[in-house]
Chain A
């Protein structure tokens, strides 16, 4: 399920850029916040089922 987000202008790869297999890791994500998801609604129930069966995204597209 892909969302369409219109038109974007991407920068060109700068001179001297290098990455292994065209990929470069730069930094890490900020630490996450632990919060409570309300155990309510169809999407939560599907998520809880997914957790229980340890399904991956590709087996059960969200």
Chain B
């Protein structure tokens, strides 16, 4: 991969990153290797609704098409991405939400819409709809770049099947877009996030929570030496931003009924207007502490305005918020990890803008976990842009490669790799364990560490072992009843809060020494000596360890591996 000769052989491509969601899509480019930039279409949108609408044979796209949901819903196609590559029986047709209904058509899904000037509707397959959508996206990018876009890296959910991927590649091909690579949404988001540090990202375990409109997807990712391995994923196809819109919709409908004795949701038009305004109101509540819901002629010609504050909204949405948290907790359990093992939570997708979601996550993770969302991290990249930016970065990295090279490198023969089952480190005085290479690091690996010795001996023992991460739970001290005055002068009203905190058990990670692998005797380690230790593990699990005191000769040894490529997981 990356033969420089490839650059000359390949007719030069113009490649972009595309994030293609059920509700919004975005296009991005690094414009020659710089920071990825999300491109606005002709209407100035960076989050382009994945919607097409037809009026007298004219095609509308994006926001213009979205507004057709009120007047012309039968000829408007929305929420179709997850229908690609599926047969009718395996889709959830309710995700169309008031737009043209998906229908069974041969082995696929299609829509019956009037997309030409003819009075009679035509049957348009989901593949063709996706092609038209992608063509419009590519055209907007071509306009911006001033060059015809010919290729793309497109993001897909981690559970996209081979059939779904093949259908997406074909739909893109029909739009004259060569798909260089399909990459998963959480990894695209991480790639864009990690670019904040322009060196190699630190080893870490990250939860990427992609909170979209129709669905939410979580991935637990191990980042080692700048490489990403997914440890576990969870999916909820029925929870996302649309569920949040519904909570506002229901609340408003009830208020409207109270006042005017008619339910605005009874007509398709009333319902469509409510959906659009609920979403707008919800977005406004991510920024301000209150927002107005205002619709002209909502039902029976009555205009309606209502003010909603964030506290009330958060209360209405509490159940939905709980499902996001649950999905994240399930993913961590599935990865056989604990919240204490998670270094970062990257919240991506449009719904990640919701302030309360970030603060709810803050309360289930320890303080050491960084919650990367706009409400909790000022440096967070716009979560609606993460996947498109990641795709653009990848597109820039591979746009000059041979197609064959790309295919080879994404092949299981290259990507399936043995990963360390346990952390490897040093056993210190008092059986303390200091990790050097974390578990889940792909092999082969070599790590070198420097430290200052604080012990003094004829010869020090460099003891290399596996470490076992354990969780130590400290129960709260049974508190003496407060008789009279407590030691500090707490006001009555904080007392409750304080005691609650103290009553919680304390959970912390600690290391236990596991399997010892090898020992080196290192001479002349004085207090203050600078010691260098190197540990190298091959794909066959052969481990080589060496140690030296600065300026002196070192010691070295190796233990052959037992299992060749490790057990499948």
Contacts and interface: CB of A to CB of B under 8 A. Distances in A.
Contact of B191 (A9, A28, A41, A62): A41
B449 A32 contact: no
Contacts of B560: 28
Interface residues of A, number: 48
Given A2-B532, A34-B565, A40 B394 contact: yes
B66 to A, nearest CB: 31
Interface in B434-470: 434, 436, 440, 442-444, 446-455, 457-463, 466
A22 B226 CA distance: 35
A61 to B, nearest CB: 9
Contact of B227 (A13, A32, A37, A52): A37
Contacts of A12: 455, 457-461
A35 B569 contact: yes
Contact of B434 (A4, A8, A40, A42): A8
Contact of B519 (A17, A40, A48, A52): A17
B461 A11 contact: yes
Contacts of A34: 416-419, 565-569
Contacts of A4: 449-451
A7 B434 CA distance: 11
A19 B428 contact: no
Interface in B500-514: 514
A33 B519 contact: no
Contacts of A49: 1-2
Contacts of B561: 28-29
A40 B183 contact: yes
Contacts of A8: 426, 428, 434, 451-454, 531
A25 B557 contact: yes
Given A25-B518, A26-B516, A28-B561, A62 B225 contact: yes
A35 B419 contact: yes
Contact of A32 (B181, B410, B443, B516): B443
Given A35-B442, A36-B416, A5 B519 contact: no
A41 B555 contact: no
A23 B448 contact: no
A10 B566 contact: no
A21 B421 contact: no
Nearest to A57: B446
B123 interface: no
Contacts of A11: 427-429, 455, 460-461, 463
B420 interface: yes
B179 to A, nearest CB: 14
A32 B532 CA distance: 26
Given A4-B450, A32-B563, A37-B415, A43 B466 contact: no
A10 B349 CA distance: 47
A21 to B, nearest CB: 7
B504 to A, nearest CB: 30
B419 A6 contact: no
A3 to B, nearest CB: 5
Contacts of A27: 515-518, 559
A51 B558 CA distance: 23
